[in-house]
Structure 1
């Protein structure tokens, strides 16, 4: 149902809970029957229902972000699974693999570091260390998942430095000579990644990871030193709100993170109790309308999420993220697939479930796919690519005898074709041919899916001019 989730432990737990909504008892068919209202009651019901569907679509992304914020920050110290109190950095301190089943489609390419920040009282300052010859990004989004800024080699270079993060409208003094980036919302999410070349390189990446700092402006420039993270055991749990509880959560997040440009939209929601503290006092007719509106709004978003990709040669691409404007359905759909998806200019994540004949991929078969010599990633700024194997049912990485979970430009000891292209063999059974074995991506003895990651893609990728090759069954 949810095809692509951002790689954070508890956020994926959140999204896993979202994926259960379609089968949750509160959405059962017997509870969705519409009372046959007549007269003014019918008018009241119909209008409240229509506004409720619109509010569900409009508010899907900010509610997901708000629930994630609460979950990620529900600790008293930074943890090694990415959780941390507000305004502190939470690192994920190792590459993830088949053992990690807290969220779907994690990558095996980067270490993560993230933070949820509150800009209400004063700006924050992010310190980035010098990062040479390595992919890095600190993706920053507001509570509507609009991009605030993507800091990385492509945008600010490899020298590191200080970056001020402020709420739009802040009029206090700011340090001279320091870049300032403004958010439209009080809360923001910082989602950082550091590329890792191999097991030996992981320790170097961890050292860089520990050097990032996040501090209030009043503690600039020496604040925000990261403590040693505590070890997290187990994954946090979340109950994603539904029905009236969902609208109550929407009311909260909109009150905390209002957008002036959306005021006309929000004023229309006052009829259903949003923005005027009126949810508790709604009539039974309007409450009933909202319960049904949430169910149908969810179905609308889910359908859009399942069909939001652009298929090319069996690979599904998503070309819109991080800049939605008034396209609230697109915003909702993309965030149901992957909360806070990267801007296409910074990374793209095409995936596939079928072979060249449209048949579902299965490990009992053997497949080949030949990736071109030029995968259109900008290596000069640390760009690289990979293709990762996942079980199609749960979308976790697959345990295998050679501990290989992905193949790509960082993979050692591959055998390339004379023209520089790379032919990968994908199967459950180990190939007998030496070259095929060197380039083997092990599959489960079951259905599977693949996801390519293109970090720092060239313009031809995110404008749709570049396509990935078809994948063929070879037995």
Structure 2
């Protein structure tokens, strides 16, 4: 469920020991701190974006939720969904934030039957695991515990260790047609007890703020480090950030920085944001058809740039074993997808092998938000995709205007990208023998049958 964090000694934040050198001359200090700042932003982006979301949802004055309580979305995500970028529209989301410093939290789930559902357990550094039929079968009672916990759970309880004290739970329950009322009943049957509250004063930062203001970003990063520590196998990398005012005895303070260091952090923050934006189309392994497959989402290990870009694209990416996804920003000829060049035609000779279901969803490139189609159609597949029907083919037309096609996915006039999600992927997806074909450009209209 994650990686164990190091015990941070002395001040409670950073290991004791002599700090590294910091150049005294302005040019040297600017170069050195700028290089460290770029690494700090890349390394810390997943944790800071999650912390900012937690701030807005449960910590800020007037926040709509509270810790250790599920907040349930009652309708599928739309263009105004504010939780994170690139949401799916196949499930209803519920999310909760936990503080496990005082010990376990107990989660109890209802019986979901044949309906797909998973509780994604995400530590503060975006390492993810799942409580789902794939991982625990029909178990319904769980204890979420910090990795250092050495207690004993009652009989009938499944223990789920997590790598950090602050934990994000992201529940997804499949929507079948228009059965929202049934999903609401399942959401309301989920219970969560036992986690403590963040009773210590902590900084509050906004989700937009930490991507626009370097000072807000570092306040958030400092808060994450103080609450959760550093993964033990990443300490050598993170320790060097002490030169930036992090990991010290006092909370990070812009006023404590000299002018040169502050300027270097501001400049390197801007460079890092540009780097992350430019990296969005590069996620995953190319399939040769224009699509890329993201193999290590939710479990990036030491691939810190890939981890940062993934979370910049959208928080809460699930591990590939639970939800394999393919992304494409281009057509089969490598030309960027855009409504001005539509219509496009996507033909899947056989449906994606899925033990649950699959869907293709469309997003704006610049914002990662769903396209505000007047008909509210953002995806094809989903609940209408029968996992038992592998006869194929599946055809869809992507265009700005209605072409008369039976399966029409509306797109904006500008640039867009597609995500193909396969929930509980079949063996051919897992072993890589099934990949989606390219998106064909300038397709003629497909008449309705």
Q: TM exceeds 0.5?
A: yes
The answer as to whether partners of 2:291 and 2:326 remain within 8 angstroms in 1 is yes
Alignment partners' CA distance in 1, 2:242 and 2:189: 46
Match of 1:191 in 2: 170
Partner residue in 2 for 1:125: 106
Length-normalised TM-score, structure 2: 0.80
Task: Give the distance between the partners of 2:28 and 2:304, measured in 1 at CA.
Answer: 26
Mean alpha-carbon deviation: is it higher for 64-73 or for 350-359? 350-359
The equivalent of 1:288 in structure 2 is 263
Secondary structure at 1:314 match in 2: coil
2:424 to 456, 461, 465: 456
Query: Does residue 246 of the first structure (1) align with residue 217 of the second (2)?
Result: yes
Matched, 1:87 2:63: no
Q: 1:113 aligns with which of 88, 91, 94?
A: 94
Matches within 5 A, 1:18-97: 40-74=25-59, 84-97=65-78
Quote the residue 1:180 is aligned against: 159
Gap regions ≥5 residues in structure 1: 1-37, 219-235
User: Which structure 2 residue ranges, 5 or more long, are not aligned?
Assistant: 1-22, 197-205, 445-449
1:76–1:84 CA contact under 8 A, matched in 2: no
Partner of 1:170: 149
TM-score (norm 1): 0.76
Distance 1:462 1:117, change over 3 A: same
Note if contact 2:349-2:392 (Cα within 8 Å) is conserved in structure 1.
Answer: yes
The question of 1:408 aligning with 2:397 is answered: no
Deviates more, 1:448-457 or 1:363-372: 363-372
Q: Aligned partners of 1:53, 1:429: CA distance in 2, in Å?
A: 43
* Structure 1 residues 233-287: Cα deviation after superposition (integer angstroms, max 9, x where no partner): xxx9752263244223212211111133333333322222211146443333322
Q: Tell me, yes or no, if structure 1 residue 255 matches structure 2 residue 233.
A: no
SS at match of 1:73: helix
Q: Distance in 1 between matches of 2:267 and 2:79?
A: 39
Find out whether 1:474 has 2:443 as its counterpart: yes
Displacement of 1:425 in angstroms is: 3.0
Partner of 2:274: 299
Which of 193, 199, 202 matches 1:215? 193
Q: Which stretch shows the higher mean deviation, 420-429 or 108-117?
A: 420-429
Distance 2:245 2:385 in 1: 58
Count of residues paired in the alignment: 403
Residue 438 (structure 2) pairs with residue 465 (structure 1): no
Cα distance, 1:293 vs. partner?
2.6
Would the aligned equivalents of 2:354 and 2:424 in 1 still touch at CA under 8 Å?
yes
Deviation at 1:462, TM superposition (A): 4.1
- 1:135 CA displacement: 0.6
Q: What's the CA shift for 1:470?
A: 2.2
- 8 Å contact kept, 1:371–1:421: yes
Distance 1:424 1:69 in 2: 38
**RMSD across aligned positions (CA):** 3.1
Once the two structures are TM-superposed, the CA of residue 42 in structure 1 deviates from its matched residue by 3.2
Q: Distance in 1 between matches of 2:208 and 2:396?
A: 39
Aligned to 1:139: 120
Note if contact 1:53-1:293 (Cα within 8 Å) is conserved in structure 2.
Answer: yes
Q: Is the 8 A contact 1:164 1:181 kept in 2?
A: yes
2:14 alignment partner in structure 1: none
**Is residue 89–residue 115 contact of structure 1 (8 Å, CA) maintained in 2?**
yes
1:408 deviation in Å? 1.3
